[in-house]
A and B are shown apart, each in its own frame.
Chain A
Amino acid sequence: MKTENQKAWFFVLPVLLLVAFNALIPIMTVVNYSVQETFGNNLFFWEGLSWFEQILRSDRFHDALGRQFLFTFLILIIEVPLGIIIALSMPRKGIWVPVCLVTMALPMLIPWNVVGAMWNIFTLPDIGLLGYFVNEVLGIEYNMTRSPLAAWITIVTMDVWHWTSLVVLLSYAGLVSIPDAYYQAAKIDGASPWKVFRYIQLPKMKTVLTIAILLRFMDSFNIYTEPFVLTGGGPGNSTTLLSIDLVKIALGQFDLGPAAAMSLIYFAITLLVSWLFYTLMTKDDAQ
């Protein structure tokens, strides 16, 4: 006879609790704020969806979103090909492998705010190594606190320096997993180096590249610390990315309602774009 009881639910309970404390409750508090107005003293007034409307219609949000997409687009278009090229040119065996791997991994081990501070000092026109060199030796005016272009070049370069290694390491992992026989067969089949890349290396790297692109997208789309330490969003608003703007609204102006609505929209966009990326990149396999 089969015993039937509901004990199995107790086994699900720990996960349920974890998810609740980890995701549901924090998100629900944000949802809570996003539909109410507060002036402190724990007094709340129902606002409905008006904060969402306000955010979605505001130019300030559109501008920040535009800057955010531009930033993410730039770093992906630089880091992914660059990462693949570096991974392809790294040695596959021998004593240089660990040297290369450790060197590659170093930037990723440095905390975000330290990276921001490092680059801030590095690019100072009067005492920074890079800033001084470009201004005084090359004679090119380069001052991040004055020129938006200089600020953009700096934050993009900083991110490339900090995170290209991730793409390199993941691509490299994909590359070393290709058995020698593939290269030997390609040699015998008379394939050119480009065809070896196109038909052997790229397909074999695809899974790890998908992960690399997704991670880089999410990280760069949510980036806060480095540009905040480096430029503080300036000059003007030129490097005010979404997260920086969000913190300004939430903690600078203490507009909790609009900030909460913006957080949710921000979250929805990240989720949607990640899903799009993933679906598009894995579409081939499903066929």
Chain B
Amino acid sequence: MAKITLSNLRHSYLPKPGKPADYALKKIDLDWQDGGAYALLGPSGCGKSTLLNIISGLLTPSEGRILFDDRDVTGLPPDQRNIAQVFQFPVIYDTMTVYDNLAFPLRNRGVAEAHVDTRVREIAEMLEVTEMLKTRASHLSPDNKQKISMGRGLVRDDVNVVMFDEPLTVIDPHLKWKLRSKLKELHQQVRATMIYVTHDQTEALTFADQVVVMQDGEIVQIGTPVELFERPQHTFVGHFIGSPGMNVLDASEDGGTVRFEGQPIAIEGKVTGQGGATQIGIRPEFVSLGDAGLEARVRKVSDVGRHSVVEAMVGDTSVKAIIEGAAPEQGATVHLAFRADQTRLYRDGWLATEIAS
């Protein structure tokens, strides 16, 4: 168990990186608290797997240091860092039984056989695989194989951090949900630090206490799922999280007055900063249809079950709204209202409003 500190971390896969685009990771400074459940969320290719491999020691960063409880481990190989990692595709030792698979990391470290037995049975109990212990691992279904991979990570009681690299990719949808809640449950039982890498917002938001959102090798925002949803620090976060994502609309700002399509728009509070490209961000959940407001023509209505997503055109700009109950017809003219305390201004992508006090 340890606190993990990443300090001034940069990484490039090129031998001689020059410009910022050469870096897969651009200057990461981050603390992972002991026992936390973290998710690393971002689109494919944003550097999240690189970051994970650097923490586990499979990659050595080009620059910067990694500390486990103030001990510098930057140069240590994975087996000396006391970490565990679960991969995208289940890694199991085909020729061994489930029992031997779970015991493998312990036996390699010379743990006494009596203790191995206790730990393996404990973990098997937690994962609900006790009745499979004697089976050859190659005969298991993909979700059970993935459970065994997780088990091998959890079986060591001194593990510093358990990392999951998109572990549910190959699992059937109806089992995904089960394994996800299992993971959450396991975290509460073992209280080890866990880092979960995914590009799926549902997985990240259900698993983690703290979500780290990455884009292009940079951390865009760190926060609880609620914070990410309610106050995205960057339009990317707003857009990436939520279904559909936040409306990001080009707007003009002049002396604190924000105009969208020529109409003044009320926003949450004081505008900060100056210049740059300004946009307003509002989640579809907070756009409502009424008698007054921006005039718009309904282009598309999709009924997604509990509510409808209405896409309306204000001039040439499309705005999405989530409507409970009766939705307007396609082609109808409606009036859109933005909830002021949920409407924010972004300058060059970054949040540029303060909450009104």
Contact = CB atoms under 8 A, between A and B. Distances in A.
B109 A190 contact: yes
Nearest to B56: A188
B95 interface: yes
A112 to B, nearest CB: 37
Given A199-B95, A199-B96, A287-B136, A189 B87 contact: no
Contacts of B83: 188
B149 A185 contact: yes
Interface string A156-196: 00000000000000000000000101101101111110010
Contacts of B87: 181, 184-185
A68 to B, nearest CB: 33
A287 B93 CA distance: 16
Given A179-B89, A181-B87, A184-B85, A189 B96 contact: no
A203 B91 CA distance: 13
Q: Looking at chain A's contact residues, is the secondary structure mostly helix, strand, loop, or mixed?
A: helix
A284 B139 CA distance: 12
Given A192-B108, A203-B95, 10 more contacts: A181-B88, A185-B85, A185-B87, A187-B58, A190-B108, A195-B108, A199-B93, A199-B95, A203-B93, A287-B136
Interface of A: 179, 181-182, 184-185, 187-192, 195, 199-200, 203-204, 284, 287
A204 B89 CA distance: 15
B95 A189 contact: no
Interface residues of B, number: 24
Contact of B105 (A184, A190, A192): A190
A238 to B, nearest CB: 42
22 contacts: A181-B88, A181-B89, A182-B91, A184-B85, A184-B87, A185-B85, A185-B91, A185-B149, A185-B152, A187-B58, A187-B77, A187-B79, A188-B85, A188-B105, A189-B105, A190-B105, A190-B108, A191-B104, A191-B108, A199-B93, A199-B95, A199-B96
A182 B87 CA distance: 9
B79 A190 contact: yes
Contacts of A184: 53, 56, 58, 78, 85, 87
